[in-house]
Amino acid sequence: MIQLGIQSIQLRGQASNKSEAIKLVASLLVANGNMQAAYSDSMLQREKIANTYLGNGIAIPHGLPKDRELILQTGIAVAQFPEGVEWNSGEIVYLVVGIAARSDEHIELLANLTDVLDDAATIQRLAKTTNAMDIIDCLTKSRDSNTQANESNANNNVHVDDFEKSIDVELNSDGGLHARPATAFVEIAKQFQSEVRVRHGSKIANGKSLVSLLKLGANKRVTIRIMVSGHDEDSALKALADAVRLGLEDEAESGHALPVASSQVMLNFSTPPVAGIAGSIGIAIGPIRHFRHEKIVVAVTAQSPDVEETRLNHAIASAKIQLQNLHDEVKERSGAAHAAIFLAHIEFLSDPDLLEAAVCNIKLGHSAGWAWRDSYSKRAAEVGSLEDALLKERANDILDIGRRVLRLLADALEEEPTAMTEPAILVAEDLSPSDTAKLDPKMVLGICTAAGGPTSHTAIIARSLDIPAIVGAGPAVLNYQDGVMGILDGHTGNLYLNPSEGDLVIARNAQQDQQDQRMAENLACYEPAMTTDGHRVEVVANIGAAAEAEQAVNAGSEGVGLLRTEFLFLQRSEPPSEEEQYKSYCEMTKALNGLPLIIRTLDIGGDKEVPYLSLPSEENPFLGVRGIRLCLARPDLFKPQLRAIYRAGMTGPVKIMFPMIATVEELLAAKAIAEEIRKEMNANPIEIGIMIEVPSAVLMAPELARHADFFSVGTNDLTQYVLAMDRLHPSLSRQADALHPAVLRMIDLTVKAAKSAGIWVGVCGGIAGDPKGAAILTGLGVTELSMSIPSVAAVKAKVRKMSYTESVALAKRALACSTAAEVRAL
Ligand code: PEP
Ligand code: MG
């Protein structure tokens, strides 16, 4: 163990803030020859990305792994602050234990520190002592004596506490079982019901408690015994042992890894925060500005009930048209899922109860406006008083729709909000989907709402517009004046009002880091997505228009993994001709210049309606004649498309992909038609793959693989069919998470079947473009990730930062999870 001499202790230290305290302890380490002065900056930098407050008045500042070469000789210094120094808001520190550690020599000392952590009386004594030896004794007295002292209450040394089911594993993390690996261990342990204990020598720790694990003082390369007891003990033991063998995610501490993505960094501000719920990541800095609704004035009574009823019906019809237009606009800009809420709003407007109550009021002599407002406000109040949080949030939707119609019935609009003239953080009680959709992203730096939860549309739309947002910040936030300066941290969900100069500097630096990170990702977008241990993943794009092929290449995409050909069929009055389709595909092969183009045949039906096809309306369109079923039922559409594809196949590496395959028969039937066309045209064969987006396709994957050249998993649909949750449902769509273990297990089965048959698997659903998703999918053995163009650079960067071994371990852990939230927490 390292020695701690009197020269390493500073009693009665004076510091007015955390930085001064760190500088003081750093100066001791420099004076004692432990480190170069520059490591002190590294210690300050570390505070920006991690909280080194250990608990109970003790902090352990240390530098960044990348600066380890500035450490001359591992050492520790302690500065005592009897008056206390504020570390982070509300955390008062009396003992600052500065660490300059090249390796794990300090672990034993840290273990002693954690021994006194629960002992408030000892800490108070050390905080006030005038004898440096008290501190030295406490930190350096042999672990055995500490153990004995604590044994009675910590249960640390009792043999009978061993569980029968156990495994001995050597610690593979570079720094031993220090804070980060121990945290990783606890996170895994908590995923299981079983009790988990860890033995190191004579000590036993609770595997689900961080402090307990730190108390073990386990250095690197020591062997620990993991013990489990409970109904899921086998899987718990396996998951924990695997994680320990793989180093417990300790790579970043080893000094070899790249810096943590700035978007995931925890920032420590000295200004007290208004705490809300993280809605959309990113940092916004600027003055706040309140969003106010206009006041809609309507007469209470009216002369003619008939006239009022007609006015109401007209207003509702106009509102439906507005909503349809809004839907189309948002869909164009942010995709179908984000636009779906406006379809739900149209549906709300057809609610007979809402209308009936309004008509009743009209018959009693009220104006259409008054009658309507009374009806929707009462309905919103009813929904708002429900227990279910998701339903509660729908009250906001009812008010939003209500106001939309009311505006059309208004006699006057008062206090209309003025357009924003300079960029600001928008603060509001809540924002309706219509309000959010109208926002100008250039003027809105960030959004903070007093109400709402993570499922609110404010959060969802803010994410799609890439605006940092927090929701549910509470009504106090509404009391601040327009113009008050704010920092909004969308990652933690905190808003800092009237921030200090120091905090503004931290925020600006973090914002700059994020921009730099994006820029770096974009600059490196043409580099292959190769893991640190040499495993290559193909990163390609999903496109839905000819012009996007070129944009995809410019963004670093290595081809097109999914061409949604529906774009050729929508918003027109008749189907496109073979020639038109051919020209469009050729435009893409030309732009791709030798890169692959996977053309998915028409996937109409479900949510994708084409009026001129006059398809019969269906009770359950998602379970009806959609995708390949429609292609097979309508050879007049299918055959010209196949002809156009085979012709385009002469101009570049084109592949065919069939959507929504649910049975082997469908695949064989579709292939037979394709082959018939090919022969007629005397064209070259083209590889034919299928989308895996129906549970039956997963279960039949071994059979389907015999007839397909590749699989591409459509996680958007697969998720909705596996979880039985409509992908466009306004309140369920958030739970329909493609990282749900049920969906991941489906992908795992698909990959295994494909591997046995010797074909490759891609993923082209939304989750492939989420860096977390990309990491897990890579670990599951997926070899191609296809995503929207803006995600290409970030996903490639993510793959390049991880090792394949790590991602395989991550995928294993994800498969063992019980919920999507657990997977995301990994
Ligand atoms: C999917 O279902 O995941 C998919 C990529 O297809 P689409 O979103 O076009 O239905
Ligand atoms: Mg699909």
% of the chain at pLDDT higher than 90: 41
For residue 328, what is the domain's CATH number? 1.10.274.10
Nearest CA to ligand 1 atom 1: 714
The H-assigned helical ranges of 606-740 are: 628-633, 635-648, 664-681, 695-699, 701-705, 715-723
Higher model confidence: residue 157 or residue 308? 308
Pocket test for ligand 1, best of 543, 564, 733, 785 (most atoms within 8 A of CB): 564
**Which uninterrupted H or E stretch holds 315?**
helix 305-334
Spacing, Cα 187 to ligand 2 middle (Å): 34
What pLDDT digit, counting tens, does each position of 645-679 carry? Answer: 999 999 999 999 999 999 999 999 999 999 999 99
Residue 142 in this model has a pLDDT that exceeds 70: no
Number of domains in the chain: 5
**Which uninterrupted H or E stretch holds 403?**
helix 389-408
Cα end-to-end span (Å), the chain: 33
Domain final residue, candidates 369, 389, 414:
414
Q: Which atom of ligand 1 is nearest to the CA of 718?
A: 2
How many residues does this entry show for the chain?
826
For residue 547, what is the domain's CATH number? 3.20.20.60
The answer to whether residue 520 sits within a structural domain is: no
User: Lowest-confidence range among 134-138, 554-558, 743-747, 782-786?
Assistant: 134-138
Nearest bound ligand to CA 747? 1
Residue 283 in this model has a pLDDT that exceeds 80: yes
Do 603 and 639 fall within a single domain? yes
User: Which residue range(s) make up the domain with 176?
Assistant: 147-256
Do 670 and 581 fall within a single domain? yes
Spacing, Cα 47 to ligand 2 middle (Å): 45
Q: Which atom of ligand 1 is nearest to the CA of 542?
A: 5
What pLDDT digit, counting tens, does each position of 368-391 carry? Answer: 999 999 999 988 888 777 766 656
Do 743 and 773 fall within a single domain? yes
Residue 810 in this model has a pLDDT that exceeds 50: yes
What pLDDT digit, counting tens, does each position of 515-568 carry? Answer: 888 888 888 899 999 999 999 999 999 988 888 899 899 989 999 999 999 878
The answer to whether residue 265 sits within a structural domain is: no
Q: What is the pLDDT of residue 372?
A: 95
Beta bridge partners of 785: 539, 763
What pLDDT digit, counting tens, does each position of 704-721 carry? Answer: 999 999 999 999 899 989
Do 282 and 302 fall within a single domain? no
The answer to whether residue 667 sits within a structural domain is: yes
Do 241 and 388 fall within a single domain? no
Residues 371, 406: Cα–Cα separation, whole Å: 10
Do 491 and 386 fall within a single domain? no
Domain final residue, candidates 383, 414, 445:
414
Burial of 622-660, coded b for 16+ CB within 10 Å and e otherwise, reads bebbbbbbbbbebeebbbbbbbbbbbbbebbebbbbbbb
Do 709 and 747 fall within a single domain? yes
Q: What is the pLDDT of residue 638?
A: 96
Three-state DSSP class for residue 322: helix
Do 402 and 428 fall within a single domain? no
Domain final residue, candidates 365, 382, 414:
414
Q: What is the pLDDT of residue 254?
A: 33
What pLDDT digit, counting tens, does each position of 762-801 carry? Answer: 999 888 988 889 999 999 999 999 988 878 998 999 999 9
Q: Is 505 exposed, middle or buried (0-12, 13-18, 19+ CB in 10 A)?
A: exposed
Do 384 and 424 fall within a single domain? no
The answer to whether residue 83 sits within a structural domain is: yes
Q: Which atom of ligand 1 is nearest to the CA of 765?
A: 3
Spacing, Cα 766 to ligand 1 middle (Å): 8
Do 400 and 355 fall within a single domain? yes
The answer to whether residue 1 sits within a structural domain is: no
The answer to whether residue 683 sits within a structural domain is: yes
Mean pLDDT estimate for the chain = 83
What pLDDT digit, counting tens, does each position of 193-247 carry? Answer: 888 999 888 888 888 776 677 777 777 778 899 999 888 888 889 888 888 887 7
Residue 307 in this model has a pLDDT that exceeds 90: yes
Q: What is the pLDDT of residue 518?
A: 80
Q: How does DSSP assign 185-226, residue by residue?
A: HHHHHTTSSSEEEEEETTEEEETT-HHHHHTT-PPTT-EEEE
For residue 12, what is the domain's CATH number? 3.40.930.10
Do 429 and 552 fall within a single domain? no
Nearest CA to ligand 1 atom 9: 564
Q: What is the pLDDT of residue 155?
A: 38
Do 227 and 311 fall within a single domain? no
Residue 312 in this model has a pLDDT that exceeds 90: yes
